[in-house]
Amino acid sequence: MSHNHDHDHHHHDNELDPFAARVRALETILTQKGLIDPAAIDAIVDTYETKVGPRNGAKVVAKAWSDPAYADWLKRDATAAIASLGFIGRQGEHMQAVFNTPDTHNMVVCTLCSCYPWPVLGLPPVWYKAPPYRSRAVIDPRGVLAEFGVTLSADMKVRVWDSTAELRYLVVPMRPEGADGLGEDQLAELVTRDSMIGTGLARQPA
């Protein structure tokens, strides 16, 4: 048998890569010491895989598009208006909704870490937490938007919100033209995650 160390060293089935092994060791240590309940970890994961995600935020936006009184409440007290739909908790304790208008586009970043409004958007995507977005959103938002396929008119004002405190921002995108007569559920289908971060726009109705 030949030794084939340069080959498939990391590709055996059931072999953990070094970082997976490191996390498993940490979980093992904490479990053996009675400091964590592995079932609690399952419950946390299940929450963010199945219960909390950008569909929540889309419901908020669709309601704001449909109901002027709700939109006004969302503008004045986003934490309460969002809580009224049942979206509360960790990383959404303090909320501010920022509304795109015909002359201002809003975009949200956390240059210092990965602050993101979990109850309405779920866990942040990798790019949101990574250095390219965090470094450039505040200095070159139009260049960043171009990488998302978004081109704004040259005179559109761009407002970037750097989440430096525990206040979390939800962008309310412009309601697309041609969406008259759609119900809240249909409107929510037009609201993408990126449109609520400000790196996208709402979809056009089919």
Partner 1 sequence: MNGPQDLGGQMGFGPVAPEKDEPIFHADWEKRALGVTLATGAFGAWNIDESRHARETLTPAEYYTSSYYQIWIKGLETLLQRHGFVSSADLAAGKAVDPAAKPKRVLMAADVAAALARGGPCDRPMETPARFKAGDRVRTKNFNPTGHTRLPRYARAKQGVIEAVREGYVFPDSNAHHKGENPQWLYTVVFDGAEIWGEGADPTLTVSIDAWESYLEPA
At residue 36's C-alpha, the angle toward residues 30 and 38, to 5°, is 105
Annotated catalytic, 195? no
- Is 150 a binding residue for partner 1 by CB under 8 A? The answer is no
Please indicate whether residue 2 is annotated as part of the active site: no
Of 102, 206, 199, residue with least CA distance to 142: 199
Q: Among this protein's residues, is 66 annotated catalytic?
A: no
In order of 8, 9, 11, 15, 122, the CA distances from 4 in angstroms are 8, 8, 12, 16, 43
Of 55-114, which residues contact partner 1 (CB under 8 A)?
Answer: 88-94, 109, 111-114
- Of 65 and 128, the one with the shorter C-beta distance to partner 1 is 128
Residue 6 contacts by C-beta under 8 Å, 6 or more apart in sequence? none
With contact defined as beta carbons under 8 Å apart, do 82 and 92 qualify?
yes
Give the number of other Cβ atoms within 10 Å of residue 65's Cβ.
23
Size of the site for partner 1 (CB under 8 A): 80
Q: Is 134 in the site for partner 1 (CB under 8 A)?
A: yes
The contact mask relative to partner 1 for 7-46 (x = CB under 8 A, - = no) is ---------x--xxxxxxxxxxxx-xxxxxx-xxxxxxx-
Report if residue 130 touches partner 1, rule: CB under 8 A: yes
Indicate the residue among 70 and 148 with the shorter CB distance to partner 1. 148
Alpha helices in the chain (DSSP H): 18-32, 38-46, 54-66, 68-76, 78-83, 118-121, 126-129, 131-136, 141-147, 184-188, 193-197
Furthest CA-CA distance within the chain? 75
> Site for partner 1 (CB under 8 A): which residue of 147, 151, 186, 204?
147
Nearer to partner 1, 142 or 203 (CB): 142
Which of 66, 114, 153, 195 is catalytic? The answer is: 114
Q: Which of 113, 135, 163, 195 is flagged as catalytic? A: 113
Q: Is 153 a catalytic residue?
A: no
For residue 201, the minimal CB distance to partner 1 (Å) is 14
Q: Return the active site residues.
A: 110, 113-115
